[in-house]
């Protein structure tokens, strides 16, 4: 299957058995290009983690920097910054193209080296679960995940859950209560639940556990958005990038 064929498959909170479709996406065989993107992200992610706990001498670091600069220069020749393929969850859920989200999301993206990544699955029609193991690049307190990354992960998981409302929107408020230190290098479980709708507000709750221990709780309120507005945001993004391109 080509990338174009894969991107054309139906997806969204209004499609039949949406959590089941999510499971299908996770098990899909990636196209050759997407497979290599993920491999590149895995390698880059390893670099990010080893950089924060590395005692290499200056010569070794210089050689590594030279190699990475050469790779970056080569990839830059193929960059298309005005053709961003990443969409937020609400956009992906209604656009019929989830692959940009699941590959390139900053928290779930298996082809994004800054993502842990979180693996998301549907539990039922109101609940989703995300699992992740955070490495040393995400450290805050010694041996623990930085609280900012925990908040970002909740925003991503609850942002997915709110789409179960059938009226996905954008984050209005996010409240996180940290209950105990969240460990690095251990499997973590995020659980998000769609609680209901009040007008344009979509209400969600979430928990984070390390094993049986509660690490954090969250409440997210999302505001349903007219997707004509989403189209405007896409257009504005393209215009802003075009201006940046003209300045370089």
167, 185, 179: which is closest to 206 by C-alpha?
A: 179
Q: What is the pLDDT of residue 79?
A: 81
CA distances from 159 to 42, 141, 164, 239 (A): 24, 26, 10, 26
Q: What is the pLDDT of residue 191?
A: 98
Q: Provide the 3-class DSSP secondary structure of residue 108.
A: coil
Q: What is the pLDDT of residue 227?
A: 66
What CA–CA distance (Å, rounded) separates 55 from 230? 46
What CA–CA distance (Å, rounded) separates 179 from 230? 35
Q: What is the pLDDT of residue 229?
A: 66
CA distances from 32 to 6, 23, 60, 78, 111 (A): 12, 20, 33, 17, 13
pTM: 0.81
197, 117, 186: which is closest to 161 by C-alpha?
A: 197
183, 185, 189, 188: which is closest to 142 by C-alpha?
A: 183
pLDDT tens over the chain, length 248 residues: 445 444 444 444 444 445 666 667 667 788 899 899 999 999 999 999 999 999 999 999 999 999 999 999 999 988 876 555 555 555 445 444 566 677 888 998 899 999 999 998 889 889 999 999 999 999 999 999 999 999 999 999 999 899 888 888 889 999 999 999 999 999 999 999 999 999 999 999 999 999 999 999 999 999 987 766 666 776 787 777 777 767 76
Fold of 18-247: Thiol Ester Dehydrase; Chain A (3.10.129)
213, 214, 118, 211: which is closest to 158 by C-alpha?
A: 118
First to last CA, the chain: 36
Asked if 98 and 109 touch (Cβ cutoff 8 Å), the reply is no
Boundaries of every domain in the chain: 18-247
Give, as one character, the DSSP assignment of residue 134: -
């Amino acid at each position: 299957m080509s990338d174009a064929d894969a991107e054309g498959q139906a997806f969204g909170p209004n499609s039949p058995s949406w959590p089941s479709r999510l499971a299908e996406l996770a098990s899909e065989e990636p196209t050759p290009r997407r497979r290599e993107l993920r491999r590149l992200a895995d390698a880059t992610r390893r670099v990010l983690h080893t950089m924060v706990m590395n005692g290499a001498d200056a010569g070794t670091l210089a050689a590594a920097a030279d190699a990475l600069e050469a790779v970056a220069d080569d990839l830059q020749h193929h960059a298309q910054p005005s053709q961003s393929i990443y969409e937020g969850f609400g956009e992906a859920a209604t656009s019929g193209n989830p692959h940009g989200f699941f590959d390139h999301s900053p928290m779930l993206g298996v082809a994004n080296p800054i993502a842990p990544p979180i693996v998301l699955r549907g539990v039922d029609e109101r609940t989703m679960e995300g699992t992740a193991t955070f490495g040393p690049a995400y450290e805050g307190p010694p041996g623990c995940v930085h609280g900012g990354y925990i908040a970002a992960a909740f925003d991503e998981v609850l942002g997915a859950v709110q789409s179960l409302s059938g009226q996905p929107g954008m984050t209005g408020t996010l409240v996180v209560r940290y209950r105990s230190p969240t460990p690095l290098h251990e499997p973590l479980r995020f659980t998000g639940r769609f609680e209901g709708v009040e007008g344009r507000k979509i209400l969600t709750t979430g928990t984070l556990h390390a094993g049986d221990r509660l690490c954090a709780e969250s409440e997210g309120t999302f505001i349903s958005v007219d997707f004509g507005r989403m189209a405007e945001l896409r257009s504005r993004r393209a215009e802003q990038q075009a201006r940046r391109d003209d300045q370089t």
